Amino acid sequence: MDDVELKKRTKLLGLRVLKLITALPQTTGGQVIAKQIVRSATSVGANYRAACRGRSKAEFVSKLQIVIEEADETCYWLELIIEGDLLPAAKVEPLLDEANQITAIMVASRKSATRN
């Protein structure tokens, strides 16, 4: 998978989360999770783009670490939505799967970049 495809996938993750949060309950908990997950999910794509523009291998690896952290945090919030019964699991699980896949891809990319 190339960087163009990953840029699309990471942006789509953010867009899908933006749509998902409109279905969250308008409770204090729902609002807190909505704010947190929007921040982390949109940060995945933004930081991946920044990583691709890195001026050095060290900068690329550093930015990629931020992408990994934000993608993993997004997984955490999605898990809370499911386990807290805020939305039906069937609606959230495909997004959680994508966030987990992006996290795994970024971890592999970081390992590869660190080795080379």
Kindly report the CATH number assigned to the domain that includes residue 31.
1.20.1440.60
Q: How confident is the model at residue 9, as a pLDDT?
A: 98
CB 53, CB 99: distance < 8 Å: no
Q: Nearest-CA neighbor of 66 among 13, 110, 16?
A: 110
What is the span of the domain harbouring residue 10? 3-115
Whether the predicted model's global pTM rises above the 0.85 cut: yes
Q: How confident is the model at residue 23, as a pLDDT?
A: 97
Cα–Cα distance for residue pair 55/2, rounded to 1 Å: 18
Mean pLDDT by 10 residues, the chain (116 residues): 93 98 96 98 97 93 97 98 97 98 97 88
Both structure tokens of 4? 């163009």
Instruction: State the total domains in the chain.
Output: 1
Q: How confident is the model at residue 54, as a pLDDT?
A: 87
